[in-house]
């Protein structure tokens, strides 16, 4: 297994897909990295030599990934909340931030609320 940016990448994966296991790297950035470093995208991780792995590590040290990126995102959210803007208020109330409807959907963001359907009131 190759260890890149603190993540173990399985040997059987292609390097293009393997790089996406690092938080902050998607398919397009993975392709850009491999294109810039002149590494074939179809190469399996086990077939990479140490020189190629070190080139990838060096490239990734220049961009925010993993812990640095997570920390940056959290600080950005905290800044929005402190400023008191609309997006910050939505984050604080744990509601969808990007304009989605909340009357019916948004269960992922709001969480499940258990209701008892058709419960009769006791009358005295």
Percent of the chain with pLDDT over 70: 90
Q: Domains of the chain: which residue ranges? A: 2-60, 67-110
Residue 80 DSSP one-character state: H
pTM: 0.74
pLDDT band at 124; cut points 50, 70, 90: low
In angstroms, the CA 38 to CA 23 distance is: 22
Q: What is the pLDDT of residue 86?
A: 95
Note the Cα 42 to chain centre separation in Å.
24
Q: What is the pLDDT of residue 39?
A: 92
In angstroms, the CA 16 to CA 39 distance is: 10
Query: pLDDT tens for residues 24-54?
Result: 999 999 999 999 999 999 999 999 999 999 9
Q: What CATH number does the domain located at 67-110 have?
A: 4.10.910.10
3-state secondary structure 26-79: CHHHHHHHHHHCCCCCCCEHHHCCHHHHHHHHHHHCCCCCCHHHHHHHHHHHHH
Range 2-60 has CATH code 1.20.120.1460: no
pLDDT band at 1; cut points 50, 70, 90: confident
Q: CB–CB of 84/51 below 8 Å?
A: no
Residue 11 DSSP one-character state: T
Q: What is the pLDDT of residue 12?
A: 92
Q: CB–CB of 26/45 below 8 Å?
A: no
CATH topology match: 2-60 vs 67-110: no
Query: pLDDT tens for residues 48-95?
Result: 999 999 999 999 999 999 999 999 999 999 999 999 999 999 999 999
């Amino acid at each position: 297994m190759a260890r890149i940016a603190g993540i173990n990448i399985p040997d059987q994966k292609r390097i293009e897909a393997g790089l996406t296991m690092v938080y902050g790297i998607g398919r397009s950035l993975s392709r850009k990295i491999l294109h810039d470093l002149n590494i074939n995208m179809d190469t399996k991780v086990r077939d990479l030599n140490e020189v190629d792995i070190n080139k990838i590590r060096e490239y990734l040290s220049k961009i925010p990934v993993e812990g640095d990126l997570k920390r940056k995102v959290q600080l950005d959210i905290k800044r929005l909340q402190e400023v008191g803007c609309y997006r910050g208020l939505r984050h604080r109330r744990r509601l969808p931030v990007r304009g989605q409807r909340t009357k019916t959907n948004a269960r992922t963001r709001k969480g499940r609320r258990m209701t008892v359907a058709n419960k009769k009131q006791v009358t005295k």
